[in-house]
Structure 1
Amino acid sequence: MATKISDALKGLSRELRYEPTTKHIRALLDGVPVLDSRQAVVVWEPRRVVPCYAVPTDGVVSVLSPAETAVRGGDIPPMLHPGIPFSRHSAPGMALDVSAGGQTAAGAAFRLDDPDLEGYVAFDPGAFDWFEEDDAVQSHPRDPFHRVDIRHSSRHVLVSSSRNVLAESTTPIMVFETGMDERIYLPPTDVNWDALVATDSATLCPYKGTASYWRLARTDAGGDDAGGDVAWSYVNPLAPAAEMAGYVCFYDNLVDVKER
């Protein structure tokens, strides 16, 4: 019987998973080295959507000590999405504080209690400055089984909010990302910028870079919320996503995105 790969991967999501990498991995705390290893593994705790790095203890160049608290067990949500902190662990192990250069990152490491990962310590992606070889890593390690495919399209796309046209284009780019819905990004020249106002929101993606956000310029007669973010763009994306620079994507659950 044939296996649908995405279903098989989802079936593994409740297990502790790892994948070795040959990259030279380093992490710094306020400029002071915390770890330095060429034997790192990419690790997903059970129900974690995004991974972290774990390294053997001989690659740790900081001081590790037992943490006071760590959240584990049945109080963890069914799926640990990116916004759920590293300190909420779903695998057996011990939470650790990390000290280097007079600074301490509380609970920023986790010694895994698993025979296949014996001697490995996982580290919080958000607590340190990370490098793969000599390149900085944003947000969290890239999932080696995750793809982002960018394709140019001639779809005719109209974006509106009540009676207000927010954008219309026949030259969008389509972004197909593993495990996510397809996204339609529109050229900035096809966006009605008078209808949008930039906000202070920003998010980091290890595949695309830093996203900037916009809200509606006013509340339309139809009752649209002018306060929430409705669109985003990677103004200066990472090199693999360079084609997306300046293109704008709208939340299709907040405004009307139609293909004509």
Structure 2
Amino acid sequence: MGLSWQQGPLAPGAVGHFLTPASLPERLLFAERLRRRMRVRFHDTWIADSEQVTLLHEPGRYPVAYFPREDIDEQALVESGKVTRHKDLGDTAWYAVRADGRSAERAAWEFTALPPHAAALQGHIAFAWRAMDAFYEEDDRILGHAADPYHRIDFRHTSRILEVRLGDSVIARSDHPLVLFESGFAPRWYVPRADIDETRLRAADGQTFCPYKGLCDYYVIGEARRAAWAYRDAYQEVGLVSDLVSFEPDKVEVSLDGVPLRLEPGQNVVPHGIDRGLDAHEAA
């Protein structure tokens, strides 16, 4: 998903490689100005508001937004005395965040001993996403984590035949599935419900949340748990996928034009980072 995780070019499991004569460092960090106004709300108080946010892409993590100290309400930050060490960026000082009598411990951090090549982050502070009430770009709330400008979703309609079986039973067969191409993931094939024997789908407990597509529901097929899923009401930007169903090829038999599909690298979502742990509650 994006530049630095799943199978992005800076991720540990990158699907491609840089064509260079010498080996690149094992870890490459990338920082850039976001070029969008970003704000942070905590306890109904705007504690940060900046057009100079720096986005840090770190291998194996979602991007993290760093705000210049001058664009942060200094009264909201309380030094905790806790210092840890980042393997690439040195000493990390932690802060509690407070507003109107409410506080969140270790909810913000700053690199205080940056190497010269990382000076772009000097005097910048990041906020733990789940500890804050909300983050906004302009007046739109951003859910889950800072939006990755390198994350992309494309849809393509196709007339290829997609078939889903469980043993001798046909669960789905479609000659007009929709294929979803998403940064850092293998292609996913979605089937209209009219082409599915929905009597074979049983709702599974629990939902997950994608910052780019919305809430995801899961289905049990036979004894296979979470063998299929659907975004029943996907975000408007990706509305083509709303209420279509995709099937997990390692749990049921999925074929495309008669060729069996296999679970490919990059198809499993792996959450990263102490301030992540995305779940359905993020959509609240």
Which deviations, in whole Å up to 9, do the C-alpha atoms of 1:183-219 show, x marking residues without a partner? 1111122222211122332222222222222222x43
CA distance in 2, matches of 1:153, 1:106: 51
Cα distance 1:230–1:12, how it changes in 2: closer, same or farther (>3 A)? farther
CA distance in 1, matches of 2:29, 2:151: 18
CA distance in 1, matches of 2:219, 2:161: 22
Partner SS, residue 246 of structure 1: coil
Number of equivalenced pairs: 231
The one-letter amino acid paired with 1:184 is W
The one-letter amino acid paired with 2:105 is A
Give the TM-score of the pair, scaled to structure 1: 0.79
RMSD: 2.5
- Asked whether the 8 Å contact 2:68–2:123 carries over to 1, the reply is yes
Deviates further, 188-197 or 63-72:
63-72
CA distance in 2, matches of 1:147, 1:13: 25
Q: Determine whether 1:39 maps to 2:36.
A: no
Partner SS, residue 61 of structure 2: coil
Cα distance 1:215–1:66, how it changes in 2: closer, same or farther (>3 A)? farther
Unaligned stretches of 5+ residues in structure 1: 75-89, 220-224
- Asked whether the 8 Å contact 1:24–1:37 carries over to 2, the reply is yes
Unaligned stretches of 5+ residues in structure 2: 1-8, 10-15, 259-284
- Asked whether the 8 Å contact 1:25–1:131 carries over to 2, the reply is yes
Cα distance 1:193–1:70, how it changes in 2: closer, same or farther (>3 A)? farther
Match of 2:122 in 1: 118
Per the TM alignment, residue 38 of structure 1 is displaced from its structure 2 partner at its CA by: 1.3
Which deviations, in whole Å up to 9, do the C-alpha atoms of 1:6-45 show, x marking residues without a partner? 5249x67823322212211112224332311111122223
Match of 1:154 in 2: 159
CA distance in 1, matches of 2:55, 2:230: 28
Per the TM alignment, residue 141 of structure 1 is displaced from its structure 2 partner at its CA by: 1.7
Match of 2:60 in 1: 48
CA distance in 2, matches of 1:243, 1:71: 45
Partner SS, residue 7 of structure 1: coil
Correspondence list, 1:59-70, <5 A: 59-61=71-73, 63-67=76-80
Q: Percent identity?
A: 29
The one-letter amino acid paired with 2:122 is E
